[in-house]
Chains A and B, each alone.
Chain A
Amino acid sequence: MNRVNAFFVRLFAFFFKEMAEVIRQPKLFITLILGPFLIMLLFGIGYRGTQPPLRTVFVAPHETALSKAIAENVALVGSTIQYAGTVQTMDEMTAMLKSRSVDLGVVIPEDAYEKIRQNQQAEFKVYNNEINPIQLNYLSYVAQIYVDELNRQVISKVAEQTQADAQKVSGYIDKALEINARYKAQLQAGDQAGASASQAELRQNVSSLDQAIGATLAVLSTVDPGISTGGGQTASVQNDITTVKDSKSVAQDIPTDKKDYSAEIANVDENEVVLKRLKANLSDFSAISPYLMTRIFISKNYSINAIDFTMMMYFTPVVIMLLLQHIMVTLAALSIVRERRSGTMELFRVSPIKAGEVLVGKYMSYMVIGIFIAAVLGALVYYGLKVPMLGSWRDAALITLALLFSSLGYGFIISLMAGTESQAVQFSMISLLLSVFFGGLFLDFRNLVYPVKAISEVLPVTYGTQMLQDTMLRGLSFSLITMLKLLGIGVVTFIIALLMMRRKMATE
C-alpha cells in the first residue's frame, strides 16, 4: 500500500511541478493559446483563395486582322488574363517579363492562315518568367484555356456561316414544296406533260438541296445529341434527303398511258411530309446560337455538403493539429534536456524515483496543458472564426487526445537525444518542417511515394488532420484504423522514450 501511495506521490510531484512551471510563465501560456488563433485569423483575413489576373502582353510584329482580333478578344477568357498591351518584338516582351511588369508573353503566329491551309496547327508561343513550379502549372493551364477559347471562337464563326448556309437550304426546301404542290395539282388534273416538267424541276431542286445540306450536316453532326446513340437529327436529315431523292415521284418518270395517278399523288404527298419535316429540322438548327454550339457542355460543381467551405475553414483542422503537435513536441523536447542541464536529473538518479514515474508524470501534466490549449483554441475557432463542427465534439476530443499523446512521445525522444536546449529546439523545428511538408498542410500526402511517404506515415499530424477534417468538416466519425495508427505511434514512441529514459537514469 505504501509503495502504491509513494508511486502516486512521485507521479503527481512531476505533474504539479510541470504544470506550475508552465503556468508561472504567463507570456508563454498566452502565446501558446493566442498564437495559433491569431495565425488562423490572419490567414482567414488575408488569404484571397483566387489567383490574381495574369498580366499578358502580346507580340505581333505586324498588325493583322488576326492579331487585332486576338488582342481584342482577351476579355472573352474571363478575368484570368488581363490585356497588358501588344508589342512588336520578342525583346520588348522579354524585358517586360524580366522586370515582372507582366506575367505572360504570347507570341501570335504570323502565318496562322498559311498553316491551316496546309492542314497544320498554328502555334501560340506562351512565355513566362516563373520559378514556382505550382504557379508554372497554373500558367500552362491558363494558356491552354486561352487557346481553347480561341479555337472555340473560330469554330463559332464557322457555325455562324453554316447557319447562314442553312437559311439558303431552307429556300431550296420552300421551292421544293412549291414545286411539289404544283406537281400534285398537275397529277390530279391529269396533266401528264406539266407534271413531268414539274418532276424534272423538283429533281434538280432536290439535287441542289442535297449538295447544299452536306456542309450544314457536318456542323450539325457535332452538335447533334443523337450522335452518341447512333440516331438523332443528323441521321434524320440525311434520311429525309435520301427519301425524297429516291422517292418514286422524283426518281421514276411519270407513265404516259395512265388515267389514274392516285399512286403518284400519294408519293407526292409523302414527299411533302418529308420536306416539311426537313424544313422543321433545319429551322431548329438555325435557331441554335453559334456560341452555344461551340460550348455545348459546361460543368458546374455541386457539393453534397451543406456548407460552402472557405480556405480558412479547410485549413483550421490542419493548423490546429500542426500547432498542437508542435507545442507538445517543443514542451517535451525542452523538458528532460532542461532537467539534465540544471543537474536535477542527477538528483533523480540518486532518489528512488523510477524512469517511468518521471515520464508518466510529465506526460500527464503536458496532456492536461495540451487539453486546455486545445479546448480554448477550439472554442475560439468555433465561436470566433465560425469554423463549423459538423461531427461530434467527443470525436474531436478523442482525436486531439491521441494526437497530444503521440506528439509527446516524439518530444521526449528528442529531449533524451539532445545534448543542449538549443539542440532540442532545432530538432523540434525540424519535426515542424517535416510536418509542414509531409503532414498534409500544403501537399496532399497521397502524392508522395515510398520511401518518402513513410515520413508522412509516422507523423501524428498526418492522421490527426485526416480525422479532424472528417469530423469537423464532413461530419463523419473518425476511422478506427487511422485512430489505431495514431495511437500506435504514441505507444511506440512512449516505449522508446521510456527505454531511453531508463538508460539516462541508470548508472554510468
Chain B
Amino acid sequence: MTEQQFAPTPGMVITARNVSKYFAKEIAVNQLTFTIPQGKIIGLIGPSGCGKTTTVRLLTGIYRPSKGEIQVLGGDPRHFTSSQRERIGYMTQLFTLFPDLTVRENMDFASSIYGKGLIRRQKRIKTLLNFVELTENRNKLTRNLSGGMQRRLALAATLAHDPDLIFLDEPTAGIDPILRRKFWDYFIELKNEGKTLLITTQYVNEASYCDYVGVMDAGRLIMLEPANQLMKIAFSGEILDLVTTTALGPQVLDAIQALPFIRGEIDQIGRGKYRMTVDEASRSLPQLMSWLDEQGITVEKLEPFLPPYDDVFVKVIQDNRDKQATRAEEIGKES
C-alpha cells in the first residue's frame, strides 16, 4: 500500500509522512510514509534491527522523529492529550510485568495508570482474564507463572483500559506455536471488535493473519500491502505448477512462454514438472489448461503454487537490496 493508495483521509488512525529517525549518525528509520485505516490488523515484518520497534516508538510518542510528521488518532504523538493516550494500548517487547505482584494486582495496576477506578475496572479485568485464560491463576504471583502465561498476562494488561489502537511489539516472540495461534485468534477477535492493531513480528508466516503487511529492511518500509497481494508483488504475479505425463520439448516450452498471461521464464523443477509465473492464477489457469488440451498435451496436474511466506519475505528483501545496490551503482557511475 503506497502513499497514493493510502492517502491520509478521515478514518485513518495513523498517518506518517517522510518520517526518519537518527540516533547520532545512525539512521534507524528512513523516509517512512504510510497511513493505516481503523479496524485492521497491520503486521510489520522485517529482520532484527530493521527499525520495527523504532517505528512503534515513533508512533507512540516515545521517540521524536528527526524528520517528517506523524498523526496518530488525530494528534501529534509528541503532544498526545490524556484522552488520546487513554485510547492507546502498548505492549513492549520485554515483559513489562511486576513479578512480585499477583496476576490480579498486575491487571489492577495496568488499569489504574489509565485512571480506571476500582469499580470501573472490575468487569473488564474479569473479562480479560477469561479471555487470556488466567482466571484460575489470578491470585498467583507473576514470578511463578510460566513464560506463556506471562505473555498472556502482558497482553491482558495492555488491553486492560480497553484501547482503540493497540501497538504490540513482537508479542509472539519466543512462544510456542500453539500459544502463537491463540494470540492471533485474540488479535482477530479484537479486530472484529473494531480495534486497530499494529503488530511487529519476525515470524513471516504470521503475515497471513494480517490485513496489511509492511515489510521493513534497513530502516525502510519496502512495502505496505494487503497480505494476499504480498506474494503477487514479490514474484510479479502468481505461480502455477504444471505436471505432465511426458517431458515437454523446448519448442513447446517456448510456446507456453509466449502466451500473453505468462510472465518471465518457465522453470523445470523435475521431470515433466514446471513452475511459471502468471498475471492472476484464477484466470490464467483455465486458459493454460485449454491451450494444453488444444496441443494434445496430457496434464497430470495444473494448480496454483503458494510459496511459504519465508520465501516471499526473502524474495522481497533480496529484490529490494538488489535494487538498492543497482541504484547505488548507477549513482556512482553518474558521479
Interface of A toward B, CB cutoff 8 Å: 2-3, 5-7, 9-10, 12-13, 16-17, 20-21, 24-25, 342-344, 346-353, 507-508
Contacts and interface: CB of A to CB of B under 8 A. Distances in A.
Contacts, number: 86
A358 to B, nearest CB: 9
A21 B101 contact: yes
B100 A346 contact: no
Contact of B113 (A24, A25, A351): A351
A351 B90 CA distance: 9
A9 B93 contact: no
6 contacts: A5-B117, A9-B112, A9-B116, A343-B92, A352-B85, A508-B64
A13 B113 contact: yes
Contacts of A2: 115
Given A24-B100, A344-B96, A507 B116 contact: no
Interface stretch (B55-63, B132-140, B222-230, B264-272): B55-63
A10 B85 contact: no
Contact of A352 (B94, B105, B109, B115): B115
> Size class of B's contact patch?
20 to 34
A24 B118 CA distance: 22
A346 B115 contact: no
B62 A13 contact: no
B86 A352 contact: yes
Contact of B105 (A5, A20, A350): A20
A10 B90 CA distance: 18
Contact of A346 (B77, B96, B117): B96
Which of B61, B62, B109 is packed against the most chain A CB atoms within 10 Å? B62
In terms of DSSP, what is the predominant structure of the interface of chain A?
helix
Contacts of A21: 98, 100-101
A342 B96 contact: yes
The 10 A-B pairs with the shortest beta carbon distances in the complex, nearest first, are A6-B115, A13-B112, A343-B94, A352-B82, A24-B100, A352-B85, A350-B90, A507-B64, A21-B100, A507-B78
B117 A9 contact: yes
A508 B96 contact: no
Interface string B97-117: 010110001001100111111
A256 to B, nearest CB: 124
B88 interface: yes
Contacts of A351: 85, 113-114
Contacts of B141: 24
Contacts of A12: 112
B95 interface: yes
Contacts of A7: 115
A17 B95 contact: no
A64 B78 CA distance: 94
